[in-house]
Amino acid sequence: MKRIFTLSFIIFSPFITLQSWALPSCPSNQNAYKDNCFGIYSWGDGEKYIGEWKDNKFHGQGTYTYASGSKYIGEFKEGKKHGQGTYYFVSGDKYVGNYKEGKKHGQGTYYFLANNKSKGDIFVGEFKDGDFNGQGTYTWANGSKYVGEYKDDQMHGQGTYTWEDGIKDLGEFRNGKLNGFAIRYDKNGNILKEGIWKDDE
């Protein structure tokens, strides 16, 4: 879960705002103090930031390209990802949603598209401190789906898991497995099992 091209930013970035165009250019010396301006900073390892600055920190709209090839396009506050943004991982995965103090936090969508697959798993829901936390829906590429509560990236709380073949588990999950009272239905809605579960059994 802890996974993360340089474009012509001014032409292509969907996050550029009219305010950015209104800001003056930052000093040409990239090591000079930057405040309420629009500029570029490059590091020797290939990392680069293009965007708005305030008090010599990334602040406002910007694009940060990592040495690995991953890229973040979106909002910054006091040097950290904060607000709405999109993170493109070098693996092909993508996250679109909210950030708080550098971490995924709030509503978001995570696309598991590793190795540039055209279709992968998708999670839509709440994040806290970078992990799935709160209500969410995880849809697997094979058609299976879980809708319910999450804690620390795992199914945890009340939820419904629908298997690829249509069988459905409705009940209490803990640490990613059925733990507590749950009912298993067949694809026609008939009860197959009902009772207290422990670790999916």
Taking only the tens place, the pLDDT of each residue in 84-108 is 999 999 989 999 999 999 999 999 9
Q: Does 78 have pLDDT greater than 50?
A: yes
Whole-model pTM: value is 0.84
> Looking at residue 10, what is its pLDDT?
33
The predicted pLDDT at position 90 comes to 92
DSSP state of 62: E
| pLDDT for res 22 | 80
What pLDDT is stored for residue 21 in this prediction?
A: 54
The residue among 138, 140, 136 whose CA lies nearest residue 127 is 136
**What per-residue confidence (pLDDT) applies to 119?**
80
The CA radius of gyration of the chain, in Å to the nearest whole number, is 21
Per DSSP, what are the bridge partners of residue 153? Answer: none
C-alpha to C-alpha distances, 149 to 6, 81, 134, nearest whole angstrom: 38, 26, 5
pLDDT at 116: 60
